[in-house]
Amino acid sequence: MTAKRYRCSDCGNLTRFDVTATTTIRSFYHYDLGGELHIEEDAVLDRSVIEVACRWCGKGDSVEEVEWIPDGETASGARTSGGRPRGR
């Protein structure tokens, strides 16, 4: 199973990036009778990346997304397939 990760083709950085993204979250706002707010559930409805910049050389246009096989996974390794786990 492969994953995606970022890579800077300019300096070879694989690990550190500045990612600018917008996230849409639905939250459960629970006020107690005293008026104090407790935010109890956050559900991420949408997330879109606006810009990725290399933390080392600062360039944004050299960062590309690459396929990556995470450590500890073999090419034939069958974990539970069928998408990523969702929060409930």
Question: Considering beta carbons, is residue 9 or 24 the nearer one to Zn ion?
Answer: 9
* 50 contacts 44 by C-beta, under 8 angstroms: no
Q: How many residues bind Zn ion (CB under 5 A)?
A: 7
Position 52: which residue type? V
Closer CB to Zn ion, residue 41 or residue 65? 65
Of 28-57, which residues contact Zn ion (CB under 5 A)?
Answer: 54, 56-57
**DSSP of 27-56, one letter per residue?**
EEEEE-TT--EEEEEEEEEEEEEEEEEETT
User: Which residues bind to Zn ion, rule: CB under 5 A?
Assistant: 8, 10-11, 13, 54, 56-57
